[in-house]
Amino acid sequence: MTAPLIHIGLHKTGTSWLQVHLFANPDMPFWTAAPESVKKRKSRAKFGSYEFYRAADGNMLREDQFDAAQARSAVGAAIVPEGRCLVVSNERLSGHPMSNGMDRSAICNRLHETLPNARVLIVVREQRAMILSNYMQYLKYGGPRSITGFLAPEHDARAPGLDPCYWDYDRLVEAYHRRFGAGNVLVLPYEMLRKAPQDFVARICRFAGVEPPRQALAAASRENASQNYLTAVGLRLLSPVIRSSRGNGFAPSLLGRRVGQAVHLGLQKYLGLLVPRALNEHVKARLLARVAPMAERYRHSNQRLQKLTGLDLRPYGYALPEEGAVIRPFPAPSAAPAGAPLQPATRHARDA
């Protein structure tokens, strides 16, 4: 039987596209245990994955709540049809940025305990683009902070918070190498999906032990397309009043969670239609300028990622040391005046 494939993300690396067009596509050789009543392809691709991180009450799964046998049954490990490859796909399996991936090590252990012979797919993304995309998702969920506050939130040791070390990809890859073996972990850059989607898909299929599709997939389509930058940024201070969400600490909004969510997303969408494209691009450029200095703190991590994976990341725009350069630590980000560039952080993530 073909070894299972576990796709753990990361967030904002084309996971929805892979789930819709590859993993839950009935014309592809992948399979999930989702019943016929589950119609949405994303839901089918994610079927069973919640067993590894979410408790019945919606909270984070505690160690004493995890049952490997139950998880194995939920993902359908014992009933995979002949000629199909079982796939479990969910970007949350790599940990969540808002909790700084605090449970990613536990999830890695649970996945290995459940499917020890599985192969693991990890998709990474150049950090500056990754940070901006995650920030826009944070605003979409009602987050009120500026991009400076997003990357350097206040901490009091009572709850985990985002740290730029979350995107030190080498640590996550090392953790999966230790558990599953380096030969059973495939790391691909998201930029390859954008530039050469057929090659990207073919590599995944060959790694999973199935035949790559002969037909071209709908590469031009974009799942979860970017929202309007000006509207999202302009509404950020008002969002906690409108809606209650994880992004704003479930603030007691005027409209409640469901109604507030609908109103907030509607405002972002329809006000965005009124924004001139040039102005929207201007706001995006300003945000990118704020994030640009962060590249320096990832040079060493990206260099180690290359050594771990054999990838050549330079053509895809990843920050890497110059030949013979000495990598010096940068100070942690601190509160900065509006419009000032962010400073890279020195804190390194503990092993994932």
List domains and CATH numbers for the chain: 5-129+163-208 (3.40.50.300)
List CB contacts of 170: < 8 A, sequence separation 6 or more. 301, 302, 304, 305, 308
Whole-number pLDDT of residue 85: 97
For 79-121, write each residue's pLDDT tens digit: 999 989 999 999 999 999 999 999 999 999 999 999 999 999 9
Beta strands in 66-176 (DSSP E): 85-89, 119-124
- Cα distance between residue 200 and residue 192, in whole Å: 6
- Cα distance between residue 19 and residue 92, in whole Å: 13
The pLDDT of residue 160 is above 80:
yes
Whole-number pLDDT of residue 221: 54
For 316-340, write each residue's pLDDT tens digit: 999 999 875 655 544 444 444 444 4
Q: Which amino acid does the sequence have at 98?
A: M
For 177-230, write each residue's pLDDT tens digit: 999 999 999 999 999 999 999 999 999 999 999 999 888 776 545 555 556 899
The pLDDT of residue 162 is above 90:
yes
CB atoms within 10 A of CB 27: 9
What is the pTM (predicted TM-score) of this model?
Answer: 0.89
Residue (of 88, 57, 85) closest to 72 by Cα position: 88
For 268-318, write each residue's pLDDT tens digit: 888 888 899 999 999 999 999 999 999 999 999 999 999 999 999 999 999
Cis before 132 (ω within 30): no
The secondary element (H helix, E strand) that includes residue 5 is strand 5-7
Q: What is the mean pLDDT of the chain?
A: 89
Task: Name the H helices within 164-298.
Answer: 169-180, 190-195, 197-208, 229-235, 239-242, 257-272, 277-291
Assign 13 a pLDDT band (cuts: 50, 70, 90). Answer: very high
Angle at alpha carbon of residue 198, lines to 196 and 203, rounded to 5°: 100
For 221-269, write each residue's pLDDT tens digit: 555 555 689 999 999 999 999 999 888 888 888 888 899 999 998 998 8
- Cα distance between residue 252 and residue 205, in whole Å: 46
Whole-number pLDDT of residue 304: 98
Assign 134 a pLDDT band (cuts: 50, 70, 90). Answer: very high
- Cα distance between residue 190 and residue 126, in whole Å: 8
